[in-house]
Structure 1
């Protein structure tokens, strides 16, 4: 087996949003060193909102990468909130649409650096309930699903979670079995 051994953890930063630890690790060939690990206290959610053959996307700027791009609604679950409830809440806050959700896939977006988990859902039965939070996006649009591959090729979808969600959804909807009935984890 080629599993790393963790001998200990030393916290070097902590806030309500995240912590950064130095884990004392040993690789199978015997080298031992400190490895930075980002830990978030709550999982996050993301939702591929679909209606007929369209997907709801948000055009937004991310100051961390100084880039504009299309994203799906996403955010973190609050303490004592289920990921399903968080997905519904985040979608409504960010887009002004309330949805019903079904699990699509669960991912670890930075698994070499972070223990964080993102639960991705498919949102359906979208009902407009209000206006989106203007701090979340410059605009909200329903984009035809058949245009998504071109958006990706043009670099208009730089968000890794959005890329994973859209490509998983598009791949699974074209198979005979359709999207999975629940989150999948590699064994």
Structure 2
């Protein structure tokens, strides 16, 4: 079987920001030719599917500047340097929703856009939610509305394109599958 690997010849850093870095790599292709790849480097992220005792999904409504619209999403956030994903999940759940969980279970990790970015998202399910009295607060540039919705309402948000991101759509499909397997 022919190798599909591309070998990096040269990397040119283009931009380094607070969240991402952008670089252009010159690569040698499997056939010996060369090409360039524009790559977004990201520290990784977590996303949490918080489920209340009455089986509601805790979601956040947030303005997303790249799309110029308000989206409904599951709580999520980027990994800080040296942070374990489970720790980030606990932190983000508390910061964005005010909840802590008695049970946190890793579900899956996946790449968001492997054609141009190395971002990986670690997805967790949080149960046994308890509202925290002195919960950690949001970042100073972050504003959200916390929603508690049924699975049916979340599915309707997908139809209405209020849920429009892959991690949240994946989470809703996972919950739909869990419901179907119970029947």
Q: Shorter-normalised TM-score: what interval? A: 0.7 to 0.9
Of 87, 93, 96 in structure 1, the residue corresponding to residue 95 of structure 2 is: 93
Q: Is the 8 A contact 1:104 1:169 kept in 2?
A: no
Determine the C-alpha separation between the residues in 1 that align with 2:121 and 2:76.
9
Determine the C-alpha separation between the residues in 2 that align with 1:146 and 1:2.
45
Deviation string for 1:73-132 (max 9, x for gaps)?
100121221100100001100111112310111110011111111101001111111466
The alignment's TM-score, normalised by the length of structure 2, stands at: 0.84
Matched residue, 1:150: 156
Of 138, 151, 168 in structure 2, the residue corresponding to residue 162 of structure 1 is: 168
Determine the C-alpha separation between the residues in 1 that align with 2:117 and 2:55.
34
Q: Does 1:123 align with 2:165?
A: no
Structure 1: gaps spanning 5 or more residues? 177-187
Alignment RMSD: 2.2
Matched residue, 1:32: 34
Shift of 1:29: 4.8
The alignment's TM-score, normalised by the length of structure 1, stands at: 0.83
Determine the C-alpha separation between the residues in 1 that align with 2:171 and 2:45.
13
Matched residue, 2:51: 50
